């Protein structure tokens, strides 16, 4: 019997496996796809703060942009420079593969092509159905299966209270320097579109995507066909990768012998939808909780609630503030979004943002921006619609 079975080989599951195996535990990771990191569901933008959790190998980094341009619905563009943090665009497949290698070096076993069909919690173990009639047992299970929520529903953990649709694609493109965010109800209802320049060996590429409520694939195709975007592409767009993106945690991320981490727990940044940092952080909380619980031979929901208490104390102030701010923004008309972009792009507000912004921690800069008179009145009016 294994100490821990991890369901899913994304960043959250693999980092949890790495930490647990590093403590001498018998850890098995089951990944449904045949290749780690494929298909890629993430643009992979992180800050250097991620190094404090996991040292990302240099070969995983595709670009280090220092400029972000926000473009309003009418085409007003305002430029922002990184506030002292290094921003990196990662090859997500290679990140997952590097984490898998690290987990295996620590002693974990990683199996691909092993879809988990069933999870049954018993008094003394968890039984996992791993396809072809295989039944595996462990003292505990970590759910790291991304946005597949059937096990959470089955185990009574609930579903994210809010989610949007995303679509993304990577294309050959003309040279570009800045990361771009495009706003507008026609471009991305209740969300945004993005362009992220990268370089793969000698090829200049562009990661493009949308996060919105509605048909993400159709909106991405329309965005890439816009006269301001299409000439920047060096190839015709193919079929994008689509996914559901949670913007709120599931009701409960722990149960008897069960913990959910990363996207499987609904842990993403509500404003941007970014999830890599939260995935690694939640995995660290989960591993710490499980090491102690396994040593005490107490895998009860009560004991494992320490995991949820830990991540909630660290992340919920950020998640609540980000969710509130996102609701204010999505209520703005295109004309009001034009005004908002002009206001945040003013010298005074940009200076405040430069001093306050942190890539992974949005609460402080949101509160500072909301204190700016023009922005405050604009956003608060949206509360009364």
pLDDT band at 348 (very low <50, low <70, confident <90, very high): confident
| 6 has a pLDDT exceeding 80 | yes
Instruction: Identify the band that residue 227 occupies on the pLDDT scale cut at 50, 70 and 90.
Output: very high
- CB–CB of 144/262 below 8 Å? yes
Q: Locate tokens 């727990």: which residue?
A: 265
pLDDT for residue 375: 86
* pTM across the whole model: 0.95
Model confidence pLDDT, tens digit, residues 157-182: 999 999 999 999 999 999 999 999 99
Q: How far apart are CA 257 and CA 236, in angstroms?
A: 48
DSSP string, 150-173: HHHHHTT----S-EEEEEEEEEEB
* Residue that has been written with the tokens 């208490």 in this structure: 309
Percentage of the chain lying above the pLDDT 70 cut:
99
**pLDDT score at 381:** 72
pLDDT tens figures, 16-45:
999 999 999 999 999 999 999 999 889 999
The burial class, CB within 10 Å (0-12 / 13-18 / 19+), for 122 is exposed
Would you place residue 338 in the very low, low, confident or very high pLDDT band (cuts 50, 70, 90)? very high
Mean pLDDT for the stretch of residues 205-217: 97
Q: Which long-range contacts (CB under 8 A, 24 or more apart) does 146-152 make?
A: 146/8, 146/10, 146/41, 146/262, 146/263, 146/264, 147/243, 147/244, 147/245, 147/246, 147/263, 147/264, 148/264, 149/250, 149/264, 151/7, 151/116, 151/119, 152/250, 152/260, 152/264
Pure H helices in the chain: 11-22, 92-106, 150-154, 216-224, 276-295, 301-330, 334-344, 347-356, 363-370, 373-381
What does the pLDDT read at residue 131? 79
Residue-level pLDDT at 378: 84
The mean-pLDDT minimum among 89-103, 126-140, 208-222, 277-291 falls in 126-140
Residue 232 scores a pLDDT above 70 = yes
- The CATH number given to 2-38+92-161+247-315 is 3.50.50.60
Q: With both helix axes pointing from N to C terminus, report the angle between 363-370 and 347-356 in degrees, rounded to the nearest 10.
A: 150
Long-range interactions of 347-351: CB distance < 8 A, separation 24+ = 348/372, 349/375, 350/78, 350/80
Q: What residue segments make up the domains of the chain, in order of their start?
A: 2-38+92-161+247-315, 163-245, 324-384
């Amino acid at each position: 019997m294994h100490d821990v079975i991890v369901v899913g080989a994304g960043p959250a599951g693999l980092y949890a496996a790495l930490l647990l195996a590093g403590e001498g535990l018998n850890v098995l990771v089951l990944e449904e796809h045949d290749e780690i990191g494929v298909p890629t569901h993430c643009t992979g933008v992180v800050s250097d703060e991620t190094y404090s959790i996991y040292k990302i190998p240099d070969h995983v980094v595709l670009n280090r942009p220092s400029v972000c341009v926000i473009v309003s619905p009418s085409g007003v563009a305002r430029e922002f420079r990184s506030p002292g943090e290094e921003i990196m665009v990662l090859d997500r497949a290679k990140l997952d593969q590097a984490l898998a290698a690290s987990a295996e070096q620590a002693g974990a076993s990683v199996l691909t092509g092993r879809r988990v069909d069933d999870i049954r919690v018993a008094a003394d173990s968890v039984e996992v159905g791993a396809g072809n009639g295989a039944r595996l047992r462990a003292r505990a299970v970590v759910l790291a299966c991304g946005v597949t929520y059937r096990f959470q529903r089955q185990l009574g953990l609930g579903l994210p209270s809010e989610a949007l649709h995303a679509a993304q694609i990577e294309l050959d493109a003309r040279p570009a320097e800045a990361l771009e965010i495009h706003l507008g109800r026609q471009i991305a209802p209740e969300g945004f579109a993005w362009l992220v320049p990268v370089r793969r060996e000698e090829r200049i590429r562009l990661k493009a995507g949308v996060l919105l409520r509605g048909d993400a694939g159709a909106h991405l195709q329309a965005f890439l066909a816009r006269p301001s975007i299409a000439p920047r592409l060096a190839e015709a767009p193919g079929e994008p990768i689509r996914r559901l993106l949670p913007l709120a945690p599931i009701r409960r991320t722990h149960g008897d012998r069960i913990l959910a981490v990363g996207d499987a727990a609904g842990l993403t940044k509500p404003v941007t939808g970014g999830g890599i940092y939260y995935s690694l952080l939640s995995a660290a909380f989960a591993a710490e909780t499980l090491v102690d619980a396994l040593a005490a031979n107490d895998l009860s929901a009560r004991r494992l609630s320490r995991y949820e208490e830990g991540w909630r104390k660290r992340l919920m102030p950020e998640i609540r503030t980000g969710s509130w701010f996102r609701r204010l923004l999505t209520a703005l008309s295109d004309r009001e979004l034009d005004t908002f972009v002009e206001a945040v792009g003013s010298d005074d507000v940009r200076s405040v943002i430069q001093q306050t912004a942190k890539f992974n921690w949005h609460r402080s800069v949101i509160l500072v921006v909301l204190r700016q008179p023009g922005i405050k009145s604009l956003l608060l009016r949206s509360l009364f619609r």
